Structure 1
Amino acid sequence: MVQPRLPRAPRRLAALGVAIAVLFAAPMGFLVVRTAGLGGDTVLETLTDDALTPLLWSLGLGAAVALSAAAIGVGLAWCTTRTDLPGRRAAAVLGPLPLVVPSYVGAAALVAGFAPGGLVADLVSPLGITPPEIGGFWGAWFVLSAFSYPYVYLPVAARLAELPPSLEESARLLGRGPRQVFTSVVLPQARTAVAAGTLLVFLYTISDFGAVSIMGAPTLTNEIFQAKLVPELWLPLASLLGAVALVVVAAERALARRRVAVSGVQVRRAMQVPLGRWRWPVALVVWGWFGAALAAPVLVLVLWVVRGVLGAGSPSATVLAPGGLLAPAASTVGVSVAAALATMALVLPVAYLTVRYRSRAGGTANTVVVGAFALPGLVVALALVFWTLKADALAWLYQTIPLLVFAYTVHFGAQGLRAAQVAVGSVPTRFDDAGAVLGASRSRRLRTIDLPLMARGLGAGLGLVLLSAMKELPATLLLAPPGFETLATRIWAASDSHQLAQLGVASLVLLALSGPLTWVLVIRPGRRR
Structure 2
Amino acid sequence: MSSSTQGSTSVVSQRSEAPSRRPPAVMLVLSVLVGVVFMGPFGYVISRNLDLGTDLGSLLLSQSTWDPLRRSLRLGFAVSASTAVIGTSLAWLTIRTDLWGRRIWRILAPLPLVFPSFVGATALIAAFATGGLVEDLVSPLGITDLPDMKGFRGSWLVLTLFTYPYVYLPVAARMTSLPPSLEESARLLGRKPATVFSTVVLPQVWSAVLAGTMLVFLYTISDFGAVSLLGYSTLAEQIYADQLFDQARSMGLALILGVTALGVVMIERALERRRARVEVTRSQDPLIVPLKGWSIPVLIAVAAFIGNALIGPVAVLGFWAWRGLTADIDSVGLGVDIGALVEPALHTAEVGLITALVAIAVVLPIAWLTGRYRSRVAGAANSMVVAGFALPGVVIALSLVFWAIDAPIIGRWYQTLPLLIVAYVLHFGAQASRAAHVAVEAVPDTYSDAAATLGASRSRRFLTVELPLMAPGLLAGAGLVMLSTMKELPATLLLAPIGFDTLATEVWGAGERGALAQGAVASLALVAVSSVLTWAVVLRRLDVH
TM-score of the superposed pair, with normalisation by structure 1 = 0.96
Amino acid at match of 1:188: P
TM-score of the superposed pair, with normalisation by structure 2 = 0.94
Structure 2 residue 80 is the aligned partner of structure 1 residue 54: no
Among 212, 219, 222, the residue aligned to 2:227: 212
Partner of 2:155: 140
Q: Does the C-alpha gap of structure 1 residues 311 and 115 become closer, same or farther in structure 2, counting only changes over 3 Å?
A: farther
Partners of 1:9 and 1:358 within 8 A in 2:
no
3-state SS of the aligned residue for 1:45? helix
Q: 2:466, 2:80 → 1: CA distance?
A: 31
Deviation of 1:113 after TM superposition, in Å, equals: 2.1
Partner of 1:114: 128
Partner of 1:3: 16
Write the mapping of 1:228-243 to structure 2, written as runs, cut at 5 A: 228-229=243-244, 230-243=246-259
Partners of 1:30 and 1:383 within 8 A in 2:
yes
Structure 2 residue 446 is the aligned partner of structure 1 residue 430: yes
Larger mean Cα displacement after TM superposition, 286-295 or 489-498? 489-498
Larger mean Cα displacement after TM superposition, 359-368 or 185-194? 359-368
Partner of 1:164: 179
Structure 1 consecutive aligned stretches of length 4 or more whose deviation exceeds 6 Å: none
Amino acid at match of 1:318: G
Partners of 1:335 and 1:405 within 8 A in 2:
yes
Partner of 1:264: 280
Q: 1:397, 1:125 → 2: CA distance?
A: 58
Partner of 2:348: 332
Write the mapping of 1:87-106 to structure 2, written as runs, cut at 5 A: 87-106=101-120
Larger mean Cα displacement after TM superposition, 253-262 or 267-276? 267-276
Partner of 1:224: 239
3-state SS of the aligned residue for 2:82? helix
Partners of 2:174 and 2:473 within 8 A in 1:
yes
Write the mapping of 1:214-363 to structure 2, written as runs, cut at 5 A: 214-229=229-244, 230-310=246-326, 313-315=329-331, 316-319=333-336, 321-363=337-379
Partners of 2:32 and 2:381 within 8 A in 1:
yes
3-state SS of the aligned residue for 1:440? coil
Q: 1:46, 1:466 → 2: CA distance?
A: 37
Unaligned runs of 5+ in 1: none
Partners of 2:170 and 2:208 within 8 A in 1:
yes
Q: 1:180, 1:115 → 2: CA distance?
A: 44
Amino acid at match of 1:98: P
Partners of 1:8 and 1:358 within 8 A in 2:
no
Q: 1:322, 1:500 → 2: CA distance?
A: 14
Partners of 1:119 and 1:300 within 8 A in 2:
no
Q: 1:177, 1:89 → 2: CA distance?
A: 26
3-state SS of the aligned residue for 1:313? coil
Q: Deviations over 1:189-220 (max 9, x none)?
A: 00000000001000000011111111111000
Deviation of 1:37 after TM superposition, in Å, equals: 3.3
Partners of 1:151 and 1:198 within 8 A in 2:
yes
Q: Deviations over 1:141-182 (max 9, x none)?
A: 000000000000000011111101121122112211111110
Q: 2:280, 2:339 → 1: CA distance?
A: 48
The alignment of Structure 1 onto Structure 2 pairs a total of residues equal to 527
Q: 2:360, 2:197 → 1: CA distance?
A: 30
Q: 2:504, 2:272 → 1: CA distance?
A: 36
3-state SS of the aligned residue for 1:263? strand
Q: Does the C-alpha gap of structure 1 residues 326 and 294 become closer, same or farther in structure 2, counting only changes over 3 Å?
A: same
Q: 2:349, 2:140 → 1: CA distance?
A: 43
Partner of 1:420: 436
Amino acid at match of 1:58: S
Larger mean Cα displacement after TM superposition, 192-201 or 102-111? 102-111
Partners of 2:327 and 2:334 within 8 A in 1:
no
Partner of 2:218: 203
Write the mapping of 1:433-512 to structure 2, written as runs, cut at 5 A: 433-512=449-528
Structure 2 residue 41 is the aligned partner of structure 1 residue 24: no
3-state SS of the aligned residue for 2:340? coil
Partners of 1:47 and 1:236 within 8 A in 2:
no
Among 182, 188, 191, the residue aligned to 1:173: 188
Partners of 1:43 and 1:232 within 8 A in 2:
no
Write the mapping of 1:516-527 to structure 2, written as runs, cut at 5 A: 516-527=532-543
Q: 1:69, 1:443 → 2: CA distance?
A: 38
Q: 2:544, 2:328 → 1: CA distance?
A: 51
Structure 2 residue 525 is the aligned partner of structure 1 residue 513: no
Larger mean Cα displacement after TM superposition, 437-446 or 287-296? 437-446
Partners of 1:115 and 1:133 within 8 A in 2:
no
Q: Deviations over 1:12-47 (max 9, x none)?
A: 11111111112111111111222233446x222233
3-state SS of the aligned residue for 1:270? coil
Unaligned runs of 5+ in 2: 1-13
Deviation of 1:310 after TM superposition, in Å, equals: 4.9
Amino acid at match of 2:67: T
3-state SS of the aligned residue for 1:85? coil
Q: 1:312, 1:342 → 2: CA distance?
A: 45
Partner of 1:13: 27
3-state SS of the aligned residue for 1:262? strand
Q: Deviations over 1:340-389 (max 9, x none)?
A: 10000001111001111142320121100000101110011011111121
3-state SS of the aligned residue for 2:339? coil
Q: 2:96, 2:213 → 1: CA distance?
A: 21
